[in-house]
Amino acid sequence: MLSFLTSPGDILADVAKRARALRLQANLTQEGLAVRAGMSAASLKRFERTGLIAFDALVRLAYALNAEKEFTALFPPVAFQSIEDVLRKEKTRKRGVLK
């Protein structure tokens, strides 16, 4: 679904657009949704206009819009295909390499 998005800015704008559409579908004002999400109306307005929002505020907003389950697809865990994959995972590095 996101294949047409070419930059982080595109993703931010698309998420904000979809959140706004959910808000309107729920017949909520910006102020009403901001109260439900525990954020200021100004922060919600800025998010809908620019796509910029703190991650914790985005999660609270998702809960207020009953869209929190979509976060489970973000950074999905690696699925093991075999016992060898599990054993190999135990031996992998716990930190990245500075490059």
Q: What per-residue confidence (pLDDT) applies to 3?
A: 59
Q: What per-residue confidence (pLDDT) applies to 96?
A: 67
Integer angstrom CA distances of residue 77 from 39, 73, 80, 87: 30, 9, 9, 16
Query: What are the residue ranges in the chain where pLDDT is below 70?
Result: 1-5, 90-94, 96-97, 99
Q: What per-residue confidence (pLDDT) applies to 29?
A: 98
**88-92: Cβ within 8 A, 24+ apart:** none
CATH tag, 8-91:
1.10.260.40
Distance between CA atoms of 65 and 60, rounded to whole angstroms? 9
Within 10 angstroms of residue 55's Cβ, the number of other Cβ atoms is 8
- pTM for the model stands at 0.76
Q: What per-residue confidence (pLDDT) applies to 28?
A: 97
Q: What per-residue confidence (pLDDT) applies to 91?
A: 65
Name residues whose C-beta falls within 8 Å of residue 2's C-beta, 6 or more positions apart in sequence.
Answer: 11, 14
Within 10 angstroms of residue 32's Cβ, the number of other Cβ atoms is 15
